[in-house]
């Protein structure tokens, strides 16, 4: 379990990285993504729908249908996927859930968490998914 992302977002990141590790023209059926990543098919189908609506992936209908990236992997940042699924509220809200947490009225971990949150946002905003092909292939047997 991660501190930052929902399970849905984790799976969305994995699915997009999986598609990026495939041949560019490869269309991946939801069932294949489900099996390779060990994600329930109904759950990954809903996630793929969200990613399609956001323009990160596209769907192809029919017998040889499935999903593929809507743009080149060098044009998709990790933050785009996070935004499409979880939104960016976790980068603006209190990690402990205190209302009105701010620099003027900080929660107990405000300063330390703020540094980590900023670094995470910067990393996710600067990294494109094309940089992770080999690492993804090492985690998933395609």
Domain housing 51 = 7-139
Residue 79 lies in a domain: yes
Cα dihedral 34, 14, 3, 47 sign: negative
Residue 104 lies in a domain: yes
Residue 106: which residues within 8 A CB-CB, separation 6 or more? none
Distance (Å, rounded) from C-alpha 112 to C-alpha 83?
Answer: 23
Tally of structural domains, the chain: 1
Residue 120 lies in a domain: yes
> What average pLDDT does the segment 24-30 reach?
89
Mean pLDDT taken over the chain: 91
pLDDT tens-digit readout, 48-106: 999 999 999 999 988 888 999 999 999 999 999 999 999 998 888 888 889 999 889 99
Residue 2 lies in a domain: no
Distance (Å, rounded) from C-alpha 138 to C-alpha 48?
Answer: 23
List the CATH number of the domain containing 55. 1.10.10.10
Distance (Å, rounded) from C-alpha 44 to C-alpha 18?
Answer: 13
Residue 109 lies in a domain: yes
Q: Where are the beta strands (DSSP E) in the chain?
A: 57-60, 66-69
Residue 29 lies in a domain: yes
């Amino acid at each position: 379990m991660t501190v930052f992302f929902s399970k849905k977002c984790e799976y969305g990141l994995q699915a997009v990285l999986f598609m990026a590790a495939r041949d560019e023209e490869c269309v991946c059926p939801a069932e294949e993504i489900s099996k390779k990543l060990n994600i329930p098919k109904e759950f990954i189908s809903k996630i793929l729908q969200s990613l399609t609506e956001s323009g990160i992936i596209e769907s192809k209908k029919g017998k040889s249908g499935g999903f593929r990236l809507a743009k080149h992997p060098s044009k998709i940042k990790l933050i785009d996927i996070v935004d499409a699924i979880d939104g960016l509220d976790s980068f603006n809200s209190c990690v402990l859930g205190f209302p009105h947490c701010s620099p003027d009225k900080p929660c107990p971990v405000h300063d330390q968490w703020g540094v980590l949150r900023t670094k995470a946002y910067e990393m996710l905003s600067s990294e494109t998914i094309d940089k992770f092909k080999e690492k993804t292939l090492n985690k998933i047997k395609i």
